[in-house]
Amino acid sequence: MQSGMASAGFRTSYSRGVGSTSPVFSVTMRQMVMPRVGESLVGGMGDLPPLRTMSVSIGDETRLSDALRVQYGFSLDMVSFLDRLHYLSPYLRAEYALTDSSELDFSYTSGDARPDLGSSPSAVDSELQRDINALALVPRLSLRNDHAQVQRGQDIEAGYSHTAGSRTYRVSVYDERVTNAALNIVAPGGFYTSGDILPDPFSNSATFDAGKYQTVGYTAGATQRLGEKFDVSVMYGSTGVLAPGTDQLATNNLDELRSAIRAERRNAVTTRAHGTFRSSGTYFIASYQWMNDRAATPANIYSTDSMRPEPGLNVYVRQPIPSFSSLPWRIEATADLRNLLAQGYLPLSTATGQQILLVQNPRSFRGGLRFIF
């Protein structure tokens, strides 16, 4: 399902002092050459212009007391694709440590997703991993009325954690509002002739704008440490998702498909394990999420929870590679496998006997080498 696509990216960051709480400033730029629309499921639009993005971010954290830590900042994003878009994405997270090995936290994000906001600053290579994630991040674009739109979310979360020995319990609640929700769709070539559908740069699928929705939900989970290097987690949640209200479409009109998508509730159970093998240095994360019914979107897209669940079966591996001691760097190989069982592929039939798919989380594999200086 690959299509022709070329991209280039650059990221630079600056902070005053390792381990300090001084502001961190970063700039990320990317240019991507989009595939030909005529080769995808949409016909008649010809070539699309390059997608150019630039993001300027400023973040800081401070301790207002021994118990209260606050993280805050914003990013200014500029997108050039058919139209010129500018939008601001502020965020705030506060953590308050109680006296009985418990913690309260509150977070607010608007605009861009902040999946690393709730991670521990002491995590291995946490700053480097954030930089790599930021460089790989591409705005979720769609078309609506022949104008480019960017998916944006507003997420408010509150959580409580309690540690008892080697076990940690956590509960959290959230309110999420998403505008210009970009859904993945796969259909026969030329099935949609409207300009309100956009080819996906990484496959021969496309995205369309499903509009806006609002959901609330909660999660509860427990994490058990198994020594210093391993832990396992189990999480249950009741969340809001987008789902098709029918299995049959009468036309190939996008307005009919958009009206068939609606917000519903789902129950989900997630298991997760991660750790490091001492002998080889292999670091891994493996997770699996079961949901009680089909859905077109993952649950709580803009979550900042450190136990953030992901749909389907997912495996991430980071393996150090031996190198000569004289070299000024060390090398790691990475493999990121998403949705290995291809769950969340939702078929919809049409009156002409053709079939389209709504894809919640495309099955994908991403690998590479990291040179760490």
- The helix (run of H) or strand (run of E) holding residue 63 is strand 51-63
Mean pLDDT of 266-286: 90
Give per-residue pLDDT as tens, 238-247.
988 888 888 8
Q: Is residue 258 part of a domain?
A: yes
Question: Residue 349 belongs to a domain with what CATH number?
Answer: 2.40.170
Where does the pLDDT of residue 47 fall: very low under 50, low under 70, confident under 90, or very high at 90 and above? low
Q: Is residue 69 part of a domain?
A: yes
Classify the C-alpha dihedral 217-220-226-227 as positive or negative. Answer: positive
Q: How do 152-164 and 355-359 pair as beta strands?
A: unpaired
Phi and psi at 65, nearest 5°, equal -160, 180
Q: Is residue 1 part of a domain?
A: no
Contact criterion met (CB below 8 Å) for 141 and 150: yes
Contact criterion met (CB below 8 Å) for 82 and 49: yes
What's the start-to-end Cα distance of the chain, in Å?
Answer: 35
Q: Is the pLDDT of residue 306 over 80?
A: no
Give per-residue pLDDT as tens, 88-147.
999 999 999 998 889 999 999 998 888 778 766 545 445 545 554 554 556 788 888 878
Distances (CA, A) of 369 to 274, 277, 301, 319, 334: 21, 19, 28, 10, 6
Task: Tell me how far apart the alpha carbons of residues 191 and 251 are, in angstroms, rounded to a whole number.
Answer: 10
Q: Is residue 330 part of a domain?
A: yes
Contact criterion met (CB below 8 Å) for 229 and 176: no
Q: Is residue 229 part of a domain?
A: yes
Contact criterion met (CB below 8 Å) for 57 and 75: yes
Task: Tell me how far apart the alpha carbons of residues 51 and 198 are, in angstroms, rounded to a whole number.
Answer: 12
Token match 């308050």: residue?
A: 96
What's the domain count of the chain? Answer: 1
Give per-residue pLDDT as tens, 166-200.
999 999 999 999 999 888 888 776 666 666 778 77
Q: What is the pLDDT of residue 6?
A: 47
Note down the domain range covering 30: 6-372
Q: Is residue 338 part of a domain?
A: yes
